Copies of this chain bind each other. A is one copy, B any other.
């Protein structure tokens, strides 16, 4: 074997270029040439590492879904550690305390609201893929089915835990509330992407609603 080229690294580099161009010009405007230019390689190279455009798009989607998982897991891991804003709520006073269910739920939901430019482009491309997957059979729905279902499960579990700890009204239906939270989070994130709302406003609404859910039983 001659030249030694780290395939995984090269593929990642090209896929990142794809995601960058998709973020700036839209996923529909992504072409082999634009990706090659953005990646600083020849079109032939893109062909070499991803035979066809469809495979390239698919690889990018896979990477996107994986990154979504990482992002959420990161948020869960560092939940409750950062001093988030000024709204006074009665849990997790110490910075190093174990995150409460509410902290975890809030962290997961806030991921859907893009604040910085990176989050914005990430969620934009992710949403473009999701919508495209409805009409394009090649982009089968796996990433858009497994991921949310898993998160819904997580939220329902945390809600149930909060209920048993007395931090949430036990009369709530944890599963329905979880679905509701997922939908609200997605909807708010989308509205921010569309410019209907600022990220701050979306976060405020989300926190307001969490205050309604995580309240001592009447």
Contacts and interface: CB of A to CB of B under 8 A. Distances in A.
Interface in A153-200: 172-173, 176, 179-180, 182-188, 190-191, 193-197
Nearest to A182: B187
A100 to B, nearest CB: 22
Interface residues of A, number: 47
B124 A134 contact: yes
A132 B25 CA distance: 10
A141 interface: yes
A209 interface: yes
A83 interface: no
A193 B190 CA distance: 14
Contact of A25 (B135, B195, B209): B135
A192 to B, nearest CB: 10
A50 interface: no
Contact of A134 (B187, B194, B205): B194
A149 interface: yes
Given A144-B196, A195-B145, A205 B176 contact: yes
Given A176-B205, A205-B176, A26 B136 contact: yes
Contact of A28 (B28, B180, B194): B28
A105 B139 CA distance: 36
Contacts of A136: 26
Contact of A141 (B29, B124, B149, B194): B194
